[in-house]
Amino acid sequence: MIKTAFQTSVLLLTTLATTVFASESSVLTKAQRAELQQLTTTASTSDLSYQIVESLTTEVGARMIGTEGDKRAIKWAVDKMNALGFDKVWTEEVAHFQWIRGDVEAKITAPFPQPIKAIALGESVGTGEQGIEADVVHFATLADLEAADATRVDGKIVFVSYRMERLKTGRGYGKAVGARVRGASVAAEKGAVGFIMRSVGTANNRLAHTGITRYQNDERRIPAVALSNPDADLLINQLKRNKPVRFFLKVTAMRNEVVTVKGANVIGEITGSQWPEQIVALGAHLDSWDVGTGAIDDGLGVGMVMATAAHIGQLDKRPKRTIRVILFAGEEVGLLGAKQYLIDHQATLKDHVIAAEWDFGLGKIYSMQANVAEPAIPAIDELASYLAPLGVAYNTANQGRGQSDMGLITDQGVPAMNFTPDGLRYFDIHHTENDTLDKVVPEDLQQNTAVYTIFAYFAAQADVEFRKAN
């Protein structure tokens, strides 16, 4: 077998790390450290997580909650967990209303008629068969729209052109996403007839990015679409001519709120040998948007957490605590699976000893941050020493929060671990038709899976109380 440079460095450096920490004060015993070293080698050389993403994107593909794809994904996940040797596998129902995307026709009709590439925001209402045509009123940011006098907006199509910043941390997303979530509502309150916005995304190709929008007022809902980045530029250039710009929009999306659709959280466990009721929770979301095949959002996470549990399940003996993999339903439409999980598991939330999710990023993990009780910090220091050879820096702020779904759960007092990957390229692809398997970098996925495997094994073996006293 030919090893990559990454794999070789992992092997060499983990040997060093386990030597350095072979002291009496270690949380892990000498035998456990040896087992962890073996496990690290396995995870760093296995392509299991990639094979899982390949299987999900090839055999299922897009899987928005309530669709046939989502139903197939749930069955796929149950079958895959069973095939991977999980001890227990089950599903827990999550309900939502039906939304059908339909098509979008968008064009500038004056002063210089041109077709525009656009996509409906998730759960947008439609325009009706006739479509709508109105003058465009432009705002650089959501804040500008919020501050605007209603007389400027009334009867118009509102355009918000804020461009998401490309950052390694992915923090540009947080600044840009408000317009997507709230923009249509703010515009509607001021009398707008439609809402168009620059995609929340960093690519310069002509694909628009979808994602959820929310209506604050059920009585005032207007169609909401995202334009591709180049099309947003084109619209701005026409607006610069200081002539009225007219826009036509036809959206055939349907929000069928009387129709209930069902999804499910899919949960699987490697049952603990000593404290089976104590849970190390690993999350990802199983649903995706209905464009692309959901490879990076969040097929990557699904592959990582399933492979992590499977690698640990291959050991001679189960670790002390249970490793629970939760594949959440309906994350994209409002963290529905996480909300349902909190309801279904309220009584045993105190038994979730620590939790981590993967729902962001394409590149390697470069930083970790915990959120645990003070007395558990030496244990996190030790974990950091096992992860350092994989290139993971240790942020000691101890204010980590679980990603997406798991954020809701760690907000309830469950200790958190957050692993930060390189997010520079993620938002080129996120929520577009380009979210496909070829974007997955196998070597990065291998490193990320190794990180999660080390974390999960450590947390499941460590006789440490991570939870803060309350």
For Zn ion, the binding residues (CB under 5 A) are: 297-298, 359
Residue placing its CB nearer to Zn ion in the complex, 250 or 425: 425
Closest CB to Zn ion among 221 and 430? 430
Least separation in angstroms between residue 402's CB and Zn ion is 13
Reading the block at residue 275, the tokens are: 């404290």
- Closest by CA to 118, choosing from 206, 193, 234, is 206
CB of 318 vs Zn ion, minimal distance in Å: 30
Q: Please say which residue, 297 or 351, places its beta carbon nearer to Zn ion.
A: 297
Task: Please tell me the total number of residues recorded for the chain in this structure.
Answer: 470
For Zn ion, give the closer residue by CB, 298 or 382. 298
Nearer to Zn ion, 46 or 293 (CB): 293
Kindly list the distances between the CA atom of residue 193 and the CA atoms of 289, 336, 391, in Å, as whole numbers in the listed order. Answer: 26, 29, 51
Provide the pairing of β-strand 275-285 with 352-357. parallel
Mind giving me the DSSP string for 112-149? S-EEE-EEEPBT-----TT-EEEEEEEESSHHHHHHS-
Structure-token match 């099309």, residue found: 231
- State the nearest-atom distance from the C-beta of 301 to Zn ion, in Å: 7
Helix (H) or strand (E) holding 281: strand 275-285
Cβ nearer to Zn ion, comparing 222 with 302: 302
Peptide bond into 298 cis (omega under 30): yes
Pick between residue 131 and residue 294 the one whose CB is nearest to Zn ion: 294
Which three-class secondary structure state does DSSP give residue 450? helix
Among 96, 125, 66, which residue's Cα sits nearest to residue 334?
96
Closest CA to 462 of 369, 350, 366, 386: 386
Asked if the peptide bond before residue 111 counts as cis, ω within 30 degrees of 0, the response is yes
Q: Judged by CB, which is closer to Zn ion: 332, or 351?
A: 332
Q: Checking DSSP bridges between strand 157-160 and strand 194-198, what pairing results, if any?
A: parallel
**Which structure tokens are listed for 463?**
């006789």
Q: How far is the CB of 420 from Zn ion (least distance, A)?
A: 15
Least Cβ distance, residue 96 to Zn ion (angstroms):
16
**Could you tell me the smallest distance in angstroms from the CB atom of residue 403 to Zn ion?**
9
| Helical segments of 21-96, H only | 30-45, 48-59, 68-83
In the bound complex, what is the minimum distance in angstroms from residue 185's beta carbon to Zn ion?
Answer: 23
Residue 147 CB, shortest distance to Zn ion, in Å, is 31
